[in-house]
Amino acid sequence: MQHTTTQPKIAVITDQSVFKKSTFVIALAVLGGITILGAIISLFSAIVLLSNAALPTLSRSILSDAAVDMIVGVFMLASSRAFAQGKILTVWFLGGSILVDSLYSLIRGYELHYLFVGLGCLFIWQMMKFREEWEAA
């Protein structure tokens, strides 16, 4: 005969992330790759505008946008690689990409990319949840 109780089972609550570490690594790499791809497309657009010489001021603006997008994308790819290796440097790379993008937007008079800032802060918060793994290694 089995012994059963009417007491409900109590689950242990932990501070573990809902997502796996590999999910964040892949998401950061994809986001960085998309940013670099956008920078390359902007670079080609600027070259086409420069070759036509119709709108040189617009081409300089697109060229500077492409350069900043390239820097942000490289920071994001570096952050993904550092995160895969379990280094805390990933937070600095991702924070740097958010800072560079935000400062450039403010300097140029563009609107701030709230979605990018929000998702970046979410990523950093989730990365800090994996900090126990980094400190144990």
The three-state DSSP-derived secondary structure of 26-46 is HHHHHHHHHHHHHHHHHHHHH
- Categorize the per-residue pLDDT at 96 as very low, low, confident or very high, splitting at 50, 70 and 90: very high
Q: What is the mean pLDDT of residues 122-134?
A: 79
Cα–Cα distance between 37 and 128 in angstroms, integer? 28
pTM: 0.77
The residue with greater pLDDT, 12 or 93, is 93
Q: What is the mean pLDDT of residues 40-51?
A: 86
Check if the beta carbon of residue 120 is closer than 8 Å to that of residue 98.
yes
Q: How much is the mean pLDDT over the chain?
A: 83
The residue with greater pLDDT, 27 or 2, is 27
